[in-house]
Chain A
């Protein structure tokens, strides 16, 4: 990304500038209309006592009540905690599984291209369909998972996956891991293929075994890719709506209610759009700050 961008040394610079602005105009206008303006509206809403957002009516008086209520609400802190737990569990599992599968299919063997397709296939399954699959696998009466656990002797009575808070959290995490690891796998595989073969030959000449080559060549070379990918996975979990909402709706007892689910519930189940906007604005701020902190060195790639 470095060096000499935005410059075209041929031809008249004045004309080039002019064209540059013209080319940007449609995007700027559209982004202003459908992203920037709505963003301002939601920030504005978060400072008003609004039930259902009606833009054709005069705005309500300015108030900080939504934010005061938010920070003193146990539901908000619960949602923060659930989001954090989900991020920790799902991100680490996705990274381990994604990296392991990428290393596996990076080997040379017959049928490698098919194996690569299969390993990353869940990426192409729409989230709602993934929810259908796992809701059925974890069905309380005839689901496969209860049968497997019973047969293996892990449990002696069927688990009611969607009415027990910890079990429901586990189901949500499992679904998200299955949907999320292929992205890490795809990115790591691309990173693996860009490591020069010479590194490995040199290491072999020096007598490094397979484990040492992994530890001292593969992992360090992959670090930048893994860093970016981890942040992207975290942001995805932060903002994801469909998996949790369709699977559990945030329940039971708010055990799977993340900040995103809380925002949506407040806005469209309880019709407290001012309060919901406040939750959403806080979520966005946390997202941006977290991403900036973790990506200080390479903000370009986000």
Chain B
């Protein structure tokens, strides 16, 4: 159906207005980073700085170990996602294809585990990591993030495997493949988009964590993740919003890039299993 001209204008106007309002906080973060600190302390505020100070990013990178923080966040995410994916692929496939005693209750437990508040689990994990000497190490954060990720990835992958027709394995096994070979040579290759979506989602979960990082890593500055580093800046630098905004942009950038370029996969992962 063709829309009339006024209807189109109203549509475009409301789209532009909505996007402008909703994205404004992100715009404001960028403008704050690019403004001179003393310009931020005057009213009315400037919605575009007189001389954008692009040098702020170089300055903050020199003053703060942002790359170290980002590297730690990436290491935590990589470790937690790898561990979670290995166990979840196998478990998800098993739950999707085999009749296993206790399989249903395991599935139910995993569903319930998604509801576990991190603020509850962080207490015993703190005790356990203290006893085993893992506190402050990257292993503590990798294992803690795995508790966040595994329930999601297992359930997402089971849902994904459910959508793959059984005839695929049956054909492979008729051709002489072992059941395990069918999984690795046939099912996993055709599941690549689902695996990518699931891993990306796990990556986002790990990257967003603050509670575990704050509890386990606060005393070990070399292992600070990006989110932890940013909050320490917020604590000490109440007045210098320009620097803190610049650091925030650098920290948000990787995940925003993932979102902008791989949105299809991420959204696919989010909505998987909900429309069934």
Chain A contacts to B: CB under 8 angstroms: 1, 5-8, 10-11, 15-17, 19-21, 23-24, 26-28, 30-31, 34-39, 41-42, 45, 53-56, 101, 104-105, 107, 109, 111, 115, 117-137, 139, 141-142, 144, 147, 151, 178, 183, 186-187, 190-191, 194, 224-225, 228-229, 235, 238-239, 241-242, 245-246, 259-261, 263-264, 267-268, 273, 276-277, 280-281, 283-284, 287-288, 291, 299-302
Asked whether B18 lies within 8 Å of A8 as measured between CB atoms, the reply is no
Among A8, A105, A126, find the residue whose CB has the most chain B CB atoms closer than 10 A.
A126
Closest 3 CB pairs of A and B: A20-B98, A280-B120, A53-B127
**A6 to B244 CA separation, bound complex (whole angstroms):** 52
Residues of B within 8 A of A128 (CB): 208, 210, 227, 230-231, 251
**A54 to B214 CA separation, bound complex (whole angstroms):** 19
Asked whether B270 lies within 8 Å of A1 as measured between CB atoms, the reply is no
Residues of A within 8 A of B196 (CB): none
- Which of A19, A186, A246 is the one whose CB lies under 8 Å from B270? A186
Residues of A within 8 A of B126 (CB): 53, 267-268, 273
Residue of B nearest to A19 (CB): B179
Residue of A nearest to B116 (CB): A284
Asked whether A242 lies within 8 Å of B210 as measured between CB atoms, the reply is yes
Residues of A within 8 A of B207 (CB): 126
- Given A5-B162, A301-B273, A20 and B103 contact (CB-CB distance below 8 Å): yes
Could you tell me the distance in whole angstroms from the C-beta of A208 to the nearest C-beta in chain B? 13
Determine if B252 is an interface residue (Cβ-Cβ < 8 Å). yes
Residues of A within 8 A of B248 (CB): 129, 132-133
- Given A11-B173, A27-B154, A287-B115, A178 and B25 contact (CB-CB distance below 8 Å): yes
Residues of B within 8 A of A31 (CB): 109-110, 113, 150
**A283 to B117 CA separation, bound complex (whole angstroms):** 8
Interface residues of chain B: helix, strand, loop or mixed (majority):
helix
Could you tell me the distance in whole angstroms from the C-beta of B11 to the nearest C-beta in chain A? 6
Residues of A within 8 A of B274 (CB): 187, 190, 225, 228-229, 301
**A261 to B119 CA separation, bound complex (whole angstroms):** 8
Determine if B83 is an interface residue (Cβ-Cβ < 8 Å). yes
Residue of A nearest to B100 (CB): A20
Number of residues on chain B facing chain A (CB within 8 A): 105
Selecting from B49-57, B60-68, B255-263, the interface stretch reads B255-263
**A61 to B97 CA separation, bound complex (whole angstroms):** 46
Residue of A nearest to B229 (CB): A128
Could you tell me the distance in whole angstroms from the C-beta of B226 to the nearest C-beta in chain A? 8
**A139 to B113 CA separation, bound complex (whole angstroms):** 37
- Given A104-B18, A301-B274, A287 and B117 contact (CB-CB distance below 8 Å): yes
Residues of B within 8 A of A151 (CB): 44
Asked whether A136 lies within 8 Å of B241 as measured between CB atoms, the reply is yes
**A118 to B15 CA separation, bound complex (whole angstroms):** 10
- Which of A39, A55, A118, A137 is the one whose CB lies under 8 Å from B23? A118
A–B complex contacts, Cβ < 8 Å, 17 sampled: A16-B98, A19-B179, A21-B94, A31-B150, A35-B150, A38-B147, A41-B127, A41-B128, A120-B267, A121-B23, A124-B259, A125-B252, A126-B251, A127-B208, A129-B230, A190-B267, A302-B114
Residues of A within 8 A of B127 (CB): 41, 45, 53-55, 273
- Given A1-B276, A241-B210, A302-B111, A144 and B28 contact (CB-CB distance below 8 Å): yes
Determine if B185 is an interface residue (Cβ-Cβ < 8 Å). no
